Protein backbone atom coordinates (compact mmCIF):
# COMPACT_ATOMS: atom_id res chain seq x y z
CA UNK A 1 0.00 0.00 0.00
CA UNK A 2 1.28 3.45 -0.92
CA UNK A 3 0.92 5.45 2.27
CA UNK A 4 3.06 8.56 1.96
CA UNK A 5 2.92 9.56 -1.70
CA UNK A 6 0.62 9.59 -4.68
CA UNK A 7 1.14 6.76 -7.19
CA UNK A 8 3.35 7.05 -10.24
CA UNK A 9 1.80 6.57 -13.67
CA UNK A 10 3.16 3.03 -13.83
CA UNK A 11 1.43 2.17 -10.54
CA UNK A 12 -2.07 3.41 -11.40
CA UNK A 13 -4.84 0.81 -11.44
CA UNK A 14 -6.51 0.70 -14.89
CA UNK A 15 -9.93 2.25 -15.39
CA UNK A 16 -13.01 0.17 -14.72
CA UNK A 17 -15.75 0.16 -17.33
CA UNK A 18 -18.70 -0.18 -14.97
CA UNK A 19 -19.86 2.58 -12.67
CA UNK A 20 -20.87 1.84 -9.11
CA UNK A 21 -24.66 2.17 -8.93
CA UNK A 22 -26.09 3.56 -5.71
CA UNK A 23 -29.57 4.12 -4.37
CA UNK A 24 -30.48 7.73 -5.25
CA UNK A 25 -32.26 8.30 -1.93
CA UNK A 26 -30.48 9.63 1.15
CA UNK A 27 -30.93 7.10 3.95
CA UNK A 28 -31.39 9.83 6.58
CA UNK A 29 -33.37 12.66 5.00
CA UNK A 30 -34.95 10.98 1.97
CA UNK A 31 -33.61 13.54 -0.52
CA UNK A 32 -31.70 12.69 -3.66
CA UNK A 33 -27.97 12.11 -3.51
CA UNK A 34 -27.57 12.17 -7.30
CA UNK A 35 -28.07 15.07 -9.72
CA UNK A 36 -30.08 16.89 -10.73
CA UNK A 37 -30.43 18.83 -7.49
CA UNK A 38 -32.83 21.76 -7.08
CA UNK A 39 -31.67 24.60 -9.30
CA UNK A 40 -30.58 27.02 -6.58
CA UNK A 41 -28.39 24.52 -4.70
CA UNK A 42 -24.59 24.63 -4.61
CA UNK A 43 -22.12 21.83 -3.97
CA UNK A 44 -18.55 21.38 -2.79
CA UNK A 45 -16.50 18.21 -2.31
CA UNK A 46 -14.38 17.76 0.82
CA UNK A 47 -11.98 15.12 2.08
CA UNK A 48 -11.48 14.83 5.86
CA UNK A 49 -10.13 11.32 6.33
CA UNK A 50 -12.51 8.37 6.64
CA UNK A 51 -15.69 9.49 4.90
CA UNK A 52 -18.11 7.73 7.27
CA UNK A 53 -17.77 10.21 10.11
CA UNK A 54 -17.18 13.16 7.81
CA UNK A 55 -20.48 12.60 6.02
CA UNK A 56 -22.40 12.49 9.30
CA UNK A 57 -21.00 15.88 10.33
CA UNK A 58 -22.61 17.39 7.24
CA UNK A 59 -25.93 15.54 7.14
CA UNK A 60 -26.42 16.65 10.76
CA UNK A 61 -26.03 20.28 9.64
CA UNK A 62 -29.66 21.41 9.17
CA UNK A 63 -29.06 23.71 6.19
CA UNK A 64 -27.27 21.02 4.18
CA UNK A 65 -29.61 19.61 1.54
CA UNK A 66 -27.91 16.32 0.79
CA UNK A 67 -24.68 14.35 1.18
CA UNK A 68 -23.02 11.37 -0.41
CA UNK A 69 -19.61 9.73 -0.16
CA UNK A 70 -17.22 8.79 -2.88
CA UNK A 71 -13.76 9.04 -4.37
CA UNK A 72 -12.19 12.11 -6.00
CA UNK A 73 -8.96 13.78 -6.98
CA UNK A 74 -7.37 10.73 -8.57
CA UNK A 75 -6.95 9.07 -11.94
CA UNK A 76 -8.63 5.65 -12.07
CA UNK A 77 -12.19 5.84 -13.41
CA UNK A 78 -14.95 4.03 -11.49
CA UNK A 79 -12.71 2.74 -8.69
CA UNK A 80 -13.87 0.36 -6.00
CA UNK A 81 -13.19 0.85 -2.30
CA UNK A 82 -10.48 -1.79 -2.47
CA UNK A 83 -8.88 0.02 -5.41
CA UNK A 84 -8.77 3.30 -3.50
CA UNK A 85 -7.42 1.67 -0.34
CA UNK A 86 -4.54 0.22 -2.36
CA UNK A 87 -3.20 3.73 -2.86
CA UNK A 88 -2.96 3.08 -6.61
CA UNK A 89 -5.83 5.25 -7.87
CA UNK A 90 -4.75 8.67 -6.58
CA UNK A 91 -8.20 9.25 -5.10
CA UNK A 92 -9.08 10.38 -1.60
CA UNK A 93 -12.24 9.57 0.34
CA UNK A 94 -14.61 12.53 0.09
CA UNK A 95 -18.06 13.86 0.95
CA UNK A 96 -20.14 15.54 -1.76
CA UNK A 97 -21.98 18.29 0.13
CA UNK A 98 -25.00 19.97 -1.49
CA UNK A 99 -26.39 22.98 0.32
CA UNK A 100 -28.78 25.91 0.01
CA UNK A 101 -26.64 29.07 -0.18
CA UNK A 102 -29.58 31.14 1.02
CA UNK A 103 -29.61 29.15 4.26
CA UNK A 104 -25.87 28.52 4.75
CA UNK A 105 -22.81 30.05 3.10
CA UNK A 106 -19.82 28.25 1.71
CA UNK A 107 -17.77 30.01 4.41
CA UNK A 108 -19.82 28.21 7.07
CA UNK A 109 -19.44 24.88 5.26
CA UNK A 110 -15.69 25.45 5.23
CA UNK A 111 -15.72 26.32 8.93
CA UNK A 112 -17.28 22.93 9.61
CA UNK A 113 -14.67 21.32 7.36
CA UNK A 114 -11.66 22.89 9.08
CA UNK A 115 -12.90 22.34 12.63
CA UNK A 116 -13.78 18.66 12.25
CA UNK A 117 -10.47 17.22 11.12
CA UNK A 118 -6.76 17.99 11.31
CA UNK A 119 -5.74 19.56 7.98
CA UNK A 120 -2.01 19.49 8.83
CA UNK A 121 -1.35 15.75 8.68
CA UNK A 122 -0.49 15.11 5.04
CA UNK A 123 -1.33 11.61 3.83
CA UNK A 124 -3.22 10.53 6.90
CA UNK A 125 -5.85 11.46 9.45
CA UNK A 126 -5.14 10.27 12.96
CA UNK A 127 -4.37 6.57 12.90
CA UNK A 128 -5.73 6.23 9.35
CA UNK A 129 -2.69 6.32 7.09
CA UNK A 130 -2.66 6.49 3.33
CA UNK A 131 -3.25 8.84 0.43
CA UNK A 132 -7.00 8.14 0.54
CA UNK A 133 -7.16 9.92 3.91
CA UNK A 134 -5.59 13.21 2.80
CA UNK A 135 -7.37 16.49 3.44
CA UNK A 136 -8.85 18.03 0.28
CA UNK A 137 -11.35 20.51 -1.13
CA UNK A 138 -12.56 20.28 -4.72
CA UNK A 139 -14.32 23.44 -5.88
CA UNK A 140 -16.67 24.06 -8.81
CA UNK A 141 -16.05 27.68 -9.84
CA UNK A 142 -13.64 30.62 -9.37
CA UNK A 143 -15.75 32.16 -6.61
CA UNK A 144 -15.54 28.97 -4.59
CA UNK A 145 -11.80 28.83 -5.23
CA UNK A 146 -11.31 32.31 -3.80
CA UNK A 147 -13.46 31.47 -0.77
CA UNK A 148 -11.46 28.28 -0.13
CA UNK A 149 -8.11 30.08 -0.27
CA UNK A 150 -9.33 32.88 1.99
CA UNK A 151 -10.74 30.37 4.46
CA UNK A 152 -7.52 28.35 4.46
CA UNK A 153 -5.41 31.43 5.13
CA UNK A 154 -7.70 32.53 7.96
CA UNK A 155 -7.54 29.12 9.60
CA UNK A 156 -3.78 28.90 9.13
CA UNK A 157 -3.41 32.15 11.07
CA UNK A 158 -5.34 30.58 13.94
CA UNK A 159 -3.24 27.41 13.79
CA UNK A 160 -0.09 29.54 13.85
CA UNK A 161 -1.29 31.29 17.01
CA UNK A 162 -1.90 27.87 18.58
CA UNK A 163 1.61 26.73 17.65
CA UNK A 164 0.38 24.07 15.22
CA UNK A 165 1.70 22.96 11.85
CA UNK A 166 1.07 24.17 8.31
CA UNK A 167 -2.06 23.15 6.43
CA UNK A 168 -1.48 20.41 3.85
CA UNK A 169 -5.01 20.44 2.41
CA UNK A 170 -5.21 19.95 -1.35
CA UNK A 171 -7.38 22.69 -2.90
CA UNK A 172 -8.09 21.85 -6.54
CA UNK A 173 -10.79 22.30 -9.19
CA UNK A 174 -13.34 19.53 -9.54
CA UNK A 175 -12.27 16.96 -12.10
CA UNK A 176 -14.05 13.77 -11.03
CA UNK A 177 -16.27 12.22 -8.42
CA UNK A 178 -17.16 8.54 -8.24
CA UNK A 179 -19.82 7.30 -5.84
CA UNK A 180 -18.70 4.85 -3.20
CA UNK A 181 -20.51 1.56 -2.84
CA UNK A 182 -24.04 1.72 -1.41
CA UNK A 183 -23.07 0.31 1.97
CA UNK A 184 -20.78 3.32 2.51
CA UNK A 185 -23.56 5.85 1.90
CA UNK A 186 -24.78 7.31 5.22
CA UNK A 187 -22.93 4.44 6.87
CA UNK A 188 -23.16 5.67 10.45
CA UNK A 189 -26.93 5.99 10.21
CA UNK A 190 -27.10 2.34 9.16
CA UNK A 191 -24.41 1.21 11.64
CA UNK A 192 -24.57 3.69 14.56
CA UNK A 193 -21.77 1.93 16.44
CA UNK A 194 -19.46 2.00 13.42
CA UNK A 195 -16.05 3.62 13.19
CA UNK A 196 -16.13 7.42 13.04
CA UNK A 197 -12.55 8.72 13.04
CA UNK A 198 -13.53 12.40 13.17
CA UNK A 199 -11.28 14.60 15.27
CA UNK A 200 -10.08 18.17 14.87
CA UNK A 201 -7.21 20.27 16.15
CA UNK A 202 -9.34 21.89 18.83
CA UNK A 203 -8.86 25.28 17.16
CA UNK A 204 -12.23 26.97 16.57
CA UNK A 205 -12.65 28.98 13.37
CA UNK A 206 -14.12 32.06 15.02
CA UNK A 207 -13.27 34.39 12.15
CA UNK A 208 -15.60 32.62 9.73
CA UNK A 209 -18.69 33.05 11.91
CA UNK A 210 -19.09 36.63 10.78
CA UNK A 211 -19.37 35.46 7.16
CA UNK A 212 -22.09 32.86 7.86
Catalytic site positions: 50
Q: How far is CA 202 from the centre of its chain?
A: 19
Pick from 154, 152, 155: which is nearest to 169 by CA?
A: 152
Cα 206 to Cα 101, 111, 120: the distances in Å are 20, 9, 19
Are 84 and 160 in contact by the 8 Å Cβ rule? The answer is no
Other C-beta atoms closer than 10 Å to the C-beta of 56 total 22
Whether residue 34 contacts residue 69, with contact meaning beta carbons closer than 8 Å, is answered with: no
Amino acid sequence: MLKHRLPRDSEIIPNRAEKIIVSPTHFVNGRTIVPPFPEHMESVIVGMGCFWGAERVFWETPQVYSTSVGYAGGITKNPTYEDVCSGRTGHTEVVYVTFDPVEITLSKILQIFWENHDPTQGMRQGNDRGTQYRSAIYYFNPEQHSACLQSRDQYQALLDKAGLSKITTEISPYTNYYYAESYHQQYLAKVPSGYCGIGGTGVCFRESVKHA
